[in-house]
Amino acid sequence: MVVNVVNVVNSAQTVADRYREFSWQQARGRSDAHAELTVRISHDEEFCDLLSGSLPAGDKQQPGLLLAAVRHLDGPHAEHGPRDEAAYGRWREWTIRHWDEVRTVIMRRTDRTDEPAHCATLLPLLARLPQPLALLEVGASAGLCLQPERYRYRYPNGQSDTAPGTELGTDIGTELGTDIGTDFGAPGSPLTFTCRTSAAGPGPVPEPPARLPDIVWRAGIGLDPLDPVAERDDLRWLQALLWPGDDARAARLEAAIDAVRTAPRPRIVPGDLLDELPALAAEAPPEATLVVFHTAALACLPLARREEFAGLVRSLLAERSGPGHWISHEHHTVLPWITAPAHRALRPEDAQPLTLALDGRPVALTGPDGRSLHWLPEDATAAPAG
């Protein structure tokens, strides 16, 4: 069994706390299997000691990586997770017995997934920018968000002037408002995204885009680029990352892969996002509007690294001979200098909404899996300090 030198901050208690937090704040209410499994791990001192001694502190100790690695290797209860103490014992015994294999998968892979439904919240901004576009995704995985013109979209209107905490705290997957809306997008696409729109303030909800963006160049940067169309093992890894019981997301992933199957694969460069960004951005055609974008990709970086990234993006776009913009789509705590008054309306339980920002200005709050888009008033999009 391979064991690394333990980092001074990499203790079994630190790992236990991380799994307990994951169970309570992320898995609870979304996946009973993952919630139960991770809370049992958090109480298992010996197993947490194995994790802290075998895996480097940081991203490789993400609970989702361990859970996906066991599922990827067809471990016990791979689909449903332990249901009682005896079942957990079997899962634990199998994982320890196959630890070298599990660790190999963890060290090779990342828990970065592509959620193509985020295209529904990105599309209205992309359509507003000067065309044509050159897309550069930071934190790409399989490149499914680099192909927005391969899907169809529906934007039913919700209620305007709804407090963000109320709007995004509801079941926005089934509560669609009174305007059903019409589909538009790629003819014959196997996947249609429904994104309910609403707006703060007394004005009308902004109209959805009238057409798909014109994309003439696309590329991405990722630590572990995946090709689920050509590589069966990459597809199996993406499927292992899906949480047990989330049949809707599994179906969405399958349909998205079918939608892009005949499209040329975007170039995705493996490596660190700051190291690779300047050279890749320089390849974008100067006559196109370069759009550097990312969705839920920066949370694992230290704050100083996030600040460095933001500064790099701004300088690259300022020095570019052609037009360029930055679209960030992160939880509002990830880029804390990008704030808006609407964030004060969020309740403690509304932990998942993401802030959609254009060039450092917040323009909307979005619900889970691209299911809602709540436009912020113009005064919330004033240039942020810093």
Over residues 303-338, the pLDDT tens digits come to: 999 999 999 999 999 999 999 999 999 988 899 888
The pTM assigned to this predicted structure is 0.86
pLDDT at 174 over 60: no
- The more confidently predicted of residues 375 and 160 is 375
pLDDT at 160 over 70: no
What percent of the chain lies above the pLDDT cut of 90? Answer: 68
Q: What is the DSSP string of 99-146?
A: HHHHHHHHHH-------GGGHHHHHHHHHHSPSSEEEEEET-SS-GGG
Q: How many helices (H) and strands (E) does the chain have?
A: 12, 12
* CA–CA distance, 65 with 76 (Å, rounded to integer): 16
| pLDDT tens-place string over residues 30-64 | 888 899 999 999 999 999 999 999 999 888 999 99
Give the confidence band of 245 by pLDDT, cuts at 50, 70, 90: confident
Average pLDDT over residues 180-196: 88
DSSP β-ladder status, 372-375 and 152-154: unpaired
Give the confidence band of 216 by pLDDT, cuts at 50, 70, 90: very high
- The more confidently predicted of residues 118 and 167 is 118
Task: Provide the mean pLDDT of the chain.
Answer: 86
- The more confidently predicted of residues 134 and 211 is 134
- The more confidently predicted of residues 78 and 116 is 116
* CA–CA distance, 199 with 372 (Å, rounded to integer): 11
pLDDT at 13 over 70: yes
The pLDDT of residue 333: 86
